[in-house]
Structure 1
Amino acid sequence: MEFPTWVTERVIARQGALHPYKALKPAETAFVVIDLQNFFTQPGYMGECKAARATFPAVNRLANALRNAGGHVIWIQTCSDSADTFWAHFQHDLLKPELSQKRLEQLSAQHSGFQLAAEVDAAEADTRVIKKYYSALATDSSNLHDVLQKKGIKNVLIGGTSTNVCCESTGRNAMMLNYRTIMVHDALSAFSPQEHEFSLQAWMLYFGDVLGTHDIINRLS
């Protein structure tokens, strides 16, 4: 992924190099894949991000490579059960009534929308985490931080959808919890190319690195 000159110049001026993480120990690395559920990826669902489907091959490629190297793959799934209570302002103030009801129904743990897309290769040995809010690392959203700590994770790779919402939100919290955090640009998607690009530009400027699956796999060896 190419960044504008003004972005690269500011990043290098701050940290001395465009990409700060030269090697990643697989045992200390987790690929955190966010919201690649039917609700967010498949036609007919309220939250469909069409671009997400094009990222499935990259997600599967990196997940497989990291597993084979001895690393960890964690699938994050949003669940809307009781969201009208624990996230009432979002459900009632930021969504029209008909959209609020549709989200509550289609992201319920009992609905097909909650399930991971059939095209993603989630292995039985992978970890699954259920989250409530945009960020899996927000207070009371999920147990992801405990999972990462128990596995001895120092490096967090972020994939999934959408880049500038749940993925960036989780990534920012991960960075501020002292994880070396990398956004995997070809394993991420947003509702428009502009949102994807602007999110990753801001990420490079302030929070961590942006790499593609090929570059990350090379750093695992």
Structure 2
Amino acid sequence: MKLPPTARTALIIVDMQNGFCRHEGSAKTAGFDITQCQSAIEPCGNLIKAARVHTVPIIFTRLVWREDYRDGGVITNEVLPGLIEAKMCAKDSWDAELIDEMAPRAEDFIVEKNRYSAFYGTPLNSILTTHDIRHLVVCGVTTNICVETTVRDASQRDFRTFIVRDATGEIAPERHEWALTTMGTRFGWVVDSADILNAWRRNPAVAA
């Protein structure tokens, strides 16, 4: 495995939103355990700082549905109607906003989506190809749902994809481990944030 260089690499921060990472958010109030999601905040922040130093493009994704959830399709209307009851990530709500620690800058990209994959129905692929990106460093929440779905889609588009173990979080610990195992054996490489930070620090322009 060659770790990603800073050249032709993008950092994708998946759905680090109030709804998933704050005690007042919809996931916690609906009874889910957000401990891992909160634990991912600091490692994600460290990756963002390093990406800024090395001018690695940063892409934040947000899961956002209309206030009436008519754009949620089968997910919100049939499979998980509890999301509507919890008012999860409704457009223009505090719940849907990125947490303060993930505040984007003018040069960053924000991709809004209403499905689990950050590629589906969004400009993400165009952003990556426009910037000649080959390597993706992916972190965020939740590991088993939006992170994994995005990673699977990235792999099918032939991006070299690195999933950052300590910078991802799931609302069920066992699903976190399942997802990491699946992604690391079929769709990319599972690494720690220290691996990425050290690779960028040692020889940023060349794959380690």
The TM-score bracket by the shorter chain reads 0.7 to 0.9
Q: CA RMSD in A?
A: 1.8
Instruction: Give distance in 2, aligned partners of 1:129 and 1:83.
Output: 20
Partner of 1:100: 84
Q: What one-letter code is carried by the residue in structure 2 that aligns with 1:70? A: T
1:172 has 2:152 as partner: yes
CA displacement at 1:39 relative to structure 2: 0.9
Describe the shift of the 1:185–1:65 C-alpha distance in structure 2 as closer, same or farther (beyond 3 A). Answer: same
Paired position in structure 2 for 1:39 = 19
Q: Percent identity?
A: 24
Q: Is the 8 A contact 1:134 1:165 kept in 2?
A: yes
Shift of 1:181: 0.4
Amino acid at match of 1:195: R
For this pair of structures, how many residues does the alignment match?
Answer: 196
Is 2:70 the partner of 1:88?
no
Q: 1:38 to 1:111 in 2, by over 3 A?
A: same
Name the counterpart of 1:61: 46
- Do structure 1's residue 29 and structure 2's residue 9 form an aligned pair? yes
Greater RCO between the two (CA within 8 Å, min separation 6)?
2
| Contact 2:10-2:133 within 8 A present in 1 as well | yes
What TM-score do you get using the length of structure 1 for normalisation? 0.82
Can you give the 5+ residue segments of structure 1 that lack an aligned partner in the other structure? 1-19
Task: Specify the SS of the correspondent of 1:112.
Answer: coil
Which deviates further from its counterpart, 106-115 or 183-192? Answer: 106-115
Change (3 A) 1:203 1:83: farther
Say which of 173, 176, 179 aligns to 1:199: 179
1:110 deviation in Å?
1.4
Change (3 A) 1:115 1:21: same
Normalized against structure 2, the TM-score is what? 0.87
